[in-house]
Copies of this chain bind each other. A is one copy, B any other.
């Protein structure tokens, strides 16, 4: 029988799954649920040592002898600090000590209650990873708890620290079995050829595999998901996730239905975007993607084909749909041009529209999605390339970063398409927010400003458009006119109409 503490049980199950076989345990009441559990596991052998300082070195010696991770489990308070000497020694010896400390709930730190001190980062830089587990109360927190334990146990050749807050009552040992917990495995970079073929084989053998490249993005994916919604035939079982952030919330939510995700990145970090990560492949995502695409050409996969057809339908709708004058019409018009451009999209509405219309090579600051530097990023890009660089940007982002235009470096290959509807248009589309009287003025930052002044100030060629014709002409000039100076086209639209068209686009698509 096991403790009834969920975080303790998740931890125990994952210790077993990650192959821990030895645990040095120290006395205490707060950590007794953990010690109890370890003692219940047939695969784990417990060694009681009372002096925690000595216990830490015991675990070190056992790690040396077995070449495997060894647990040392202590109660709350200075117990943890007594481990510091052994942990520091293990750090420099590259030995995998797994320090597990029981803790009180964070609310009680520094409240003059018993044996409480700030534990989560108490071992400083002598552990390569330190996590503090939640006491989960819903699925999201259970997922979080699982992920944190996995993150700690995936570390190789170094001590880690898992801090476990446990609320009272402590002594209920009535759970008959440990939960079945997802284990995340790291495929490290040191065997690249072997790893690559393993990943590709897993993909090809899956029943319903899907290849997801973050931004630069899978075009039309958002609409496709919008269409199939819960249709089981489209839900993948195996996601191979290459690259960076996904723009569409809808797509992320959809991919959480998959059974497992294998993620590829250079640093081996754990990004559990779809909440079902099982393998982290340390390596170059592009190489993996190329190999998968090559295999698919040799040997088409029915599930991949089904998705390709769906995406093609979405693409055709995008082509067929004729938006009236609005921000969507602007982005669509852009796409009609054959000129080759480097495209930099700003966040918010701009990148959402790009998701529908833009072709493949799109840049966007999706790392933390700030409003703050899109114009500067595009400007910087234009300085070190001779090709034209086009920045598509909304009004808030533009004025926020208008200092991007205040310097002597800019050249004529820099072009700006400013979509100005007088506020943060994205906020119009957030359902429920309309009930707040603060929305327009405080949340969406309504304003009445034009870029004309700043363009004069910085010697930027300025054009404006207020209807479809002016806009199309403006885009033509923007993309084709030769100029020594940067050019900017400011397209004024109506925020309410922008919102209406955006919704209509999806409504039409679903009707089909």
Contact = CB atoms under 8 A, between A and B. Distances in A.
Interface stretch (A117-125, A230-238, A473-481): A117-125
Contacts of A106: 144
Given A39-B437, A372-B85, A396-B50, A367 B90 contact: yes
B48 A445 contact: yes
Contacts of A143: 107
A483 interface: no
Give the interface size class of chain A. Answer: 35 or more
A204 interface: no
Contacts of A472: none
Contact of A383 (B62, B189, B246): B62
Contact of A378 (B50, B61, B90, B371): B61
A340 interface: no
B368 A88 contact: yes
B373 A85 contact: yes
Contact of A381 (B38, B65, B370, B437): B65
Interface in A53-100: 53-62, 64-66, 77-79, 81-82, 84-86, 88-94
Nearest to A430: B29
B141 A117 contact: no
Nearest to A437: B39
Given A61-B380, A344-B61, A409-B48, A93 B435 contact: no
A41 to B, nearest CB: 11
From A147, A245, A374, A451, residue with most partner B Cβ within 10 Å:
A245
Interface string A183-204: 0000011111100000000000
Nearest to A401: B54
A205 interface: no
A28 interface: yes
B445 A85 contact: no
A455 B454 CA distance: 9
A270 B112 CA distance: 10
B406 A449 contact: yes
Contact of A64 (B105, B189, B363, B399): B363
Interface stretch (A7-15, A166-174, A300-308, A503-511): A166-174
Contacts of A189: 188-190
A402 B93 CA distance: 23
A266 interface: yes
Given A48-B409, A192-B190, A92 B457 contact: no
B432 A367 contact: no
A191 B367 CA distance: 28
Contacts of A366: 92-93, 114
Interface in A404-442: 404, 406-409, 424, 426-427, 430-433, 435-439, 441-442
A173 B435 contact: yes
A259 interface: no
A399 B246 CA distance: 35
Contacts of A229: none
A51 interface: yes
Interface stretch (A19-27, A217-225, A463-471, A493-501): A19-27
Contacts of A252: 113
A140 B50 contact: no
A278 interface: no
A400 B426 CA distance: 28
A296 interface: no
A194 to B, nearest CB: 10
A117 B94 contact: no
B406 A399 contact: yes
Given A124-B121, A171-B432, A88 B92 contact: no
A403 interface: yes
Contacts of A52: 372
A202 B480 CA distance: 54
A123 to B, nearest CB: 9
Given A58-B380, A89-B365, 11 more contacts: A27-B444, A32-B427, A54-B407, A77-B369, A81-B88, A92-B367, A93-B366, A110-B269, A112-B273, A170-B430, A402-B403
